[in-house]
Amino acid sequence: MSTASVAAPPSSHASKTGPARTHGPAAPTVTDPALVRRAVKAAALGNAMEWFDFGVYSYIAVTLGKVFFPSGNPTAQLLSTFGAFAAAFLVRPLGGMVFGPLGDRVGRQKVLALTMIMMAAGTFAIGLIPSYAAIGVGAPILLLAARLVQGFSTGGEYAGASTFIAEYAPDKRRGFLGSWLEFGTLAGYIGGAGLVTLMTALLSSEDLLSWGWRIPFLIAGPMGVIGLYLRMRLEETPAFAAEVEKAESERPKVPLREMVTGQWRALLLCVALVLVFNVTDYMLLSYMPSYLTSELGYDATHGLVVVLGVMVLMMIVQPFAGALTDRVGRRPVIAAGCAGFLVLSVPALLLIRDGGLLAVAAGMGALGLLLVCFTAAMPSALPALFPTRVRYGSLSIGFNVSVSLFGGTTPLVVTALIGATGDMMMPAYYMMAAAVIGGFAVWRMAESAGRPLPGSAPSLEAGTHRENA
């Protein structure tokens, strides 16, 4: 296959994204703001669809437990449901090992289109699975199969989307533009949470159990078609196009071993940063709704409304925090989040446990604002750990190994720890331990704000380039 299928011809990139070459390899790439905005939207929508599903799965976990895992013990049902949730994360590293190197071989845009198709298909399939009452043990088996398809596809989604935005963004605005990826995450969560809250309020328990739970999953079909359309209209990133051109019109071939052993220091930093990011993320946005309902006996609708309000607050703050990382750097913002979780996790959880509605909202809001330190900085900080040649592959491997071991298992592990110890403060202790690991990683990482990505030429916005010319 010719390289024209991987990247647009040089003349096309010169007119839209650069690269504006003068003399020598360090000539800057000039980005077209309109094309960058389109790339950000397409990447963020895929992330929104992924987290719409995960959010729905978490918020409706109690109902799914009754549909697919009948048992006289509500805790056993919840554990079974979160077990299927966690199983999808076990195959994410496999997806990362397939889609990551493929993205460095054939291009970011093609792989992101493929992951979009698989995510939409897996989510849509869940809405079609018969209940345990209808087909018996086949129901949880089919649920697990659909979750594994989702997990495999998402192995290439976040790393690809963050790489795509980072390689399109000008150096001085990479934090702000990257923060919109997690804006998409929050939008997906809010869409899922809002829909579940609405259904919980409007439908009877019988209707929700018999057919209502299927609605959120079936919505993934049209969402996937829209996302695929947007992604297919995009050109390849300027950084990857330049890498292909540098390889004399041949697609870069990078052994999997080079992505791991050749980048082991950056991979360790990536695993640690993703650990604190995802443990706190899944704790707040995936586990807390069930914690409020099943462990604290909170009314389901009120608990979901509180979480929904926290996510709206995070969405409002997200772009401003992303812009802040461009001004003060990624490291100070991530470090502030780690310090905050270390100091405030216990007080925040005490508010959630022992207070009324306002106290619960205050505790959840504090944790949400701390989480923004990670959601705003990570999409730009993580791709900057790796050079262009191996960026998609190495980031996919490091990100998904960490998410599988620590992030996606958070609801299951914390539920089991509470069951084993009876200590309702386990969520706070778990977040504090993650904050310590994240703090060490921040200490060891280099600052990347305002600087070119490793292995890439400087990237300037079109207006900035004209001013400097």
Supply the pTM of this predicted model: 0.82
- pLDDT digit string, tens, across residues 111-135: 988 888 888 888 889 889 998 888 8
Q: Which pLDDT value is given to residue 11? A: 36
Q: Which pLDDT value is given to residue 378? A: 96
Whether omega for the bond prior to residue 411 falls within 30 degrees of 0, making it cis, is: no
In the chain, the percentage of residues whose pLDDT exceeds 90 is: 29
Q: Which pLDDT value is given to residue 2? A: 35
Residues 106-134: b if buried by 16+ CB within 10 A, e if exposed: bbbbbbbbbbbebbbbbbbbbbebebbee
Per the structure, the count of domains in the chain is 1
**Has residue 18 been placed in a domain?**
no
**Has residue 8 been placed in a domain?**
no
Q: Which pLDDT value is given to residue 8? A: 37
Q: Which pLDDT value is given to residue 462? A: 66
**Has residue 112 been placed in a domain?**
yes
Q: Which pLDDT value is given to residue 275? A: 95
Whether the Cβ atoms of residue 371 and residue 280 lie closer than 8 Å to each other: yes
Domain containing 226: what range? Answer: 30-446
Question: Tell me, what amino acid is at 423?
Answer: D
Of the candidates 182, 212, 193, the one whose C-alpha atom is nearest the C-alpha of residue 64 is: 212
Low-confidence ranges of the chain (pLDDT < 50): 1-25, 465-469
User: Which residues, including other chains, have CB under 8 Å from residue 198's CB and lie 6 or more apart?
Assistant: none
Per the DSSP assignment, residues forming a β-bridge with 30 are 460
**Has residue 454 been placed in a domain?**
no
- pLDDT digit string, tens, across residues 331-346: 999 999 999 999 999 9
Q: Which pLDDT value is given to residue 360? A: 86
**Has residue 458 been placed in a domain?**
no
**Has residue 433 been placed in a domain?**
yes
Q: Which pLDDT value is given to residue 354? A: 75
Integer Cα distance of 282 and 435 in angstroms = 14
**Has residue 45 been placed in a domain?**
yes
Q: Which pLDDT value is given to residue 77? A: 65
Q: Which pLDDT value is given to residue 195? A: 85
Total Cβ atoms within 10 A of residue 5:
11
Distances, alpha carbon 395 to alpha carbons 163, 192, 243, 325, 406, in Å: 8, 27, 17, 20, 16
Q: Which pLDDT value is given to residue 82? A: 67
**Has residue 468 been placed in a domain?**
no
The CATH number of the domain holding residue 102 is 1.20.1250.20
Of the candidates 35, 7, 44, 322, the one whose C-alpha atom is nearest the C-alpha of residue 161 is: 44
Of the candidates 200, 216, 185, 195, the one whose C-alpha atom is nearest the C-alpha of residue 62 is: 200
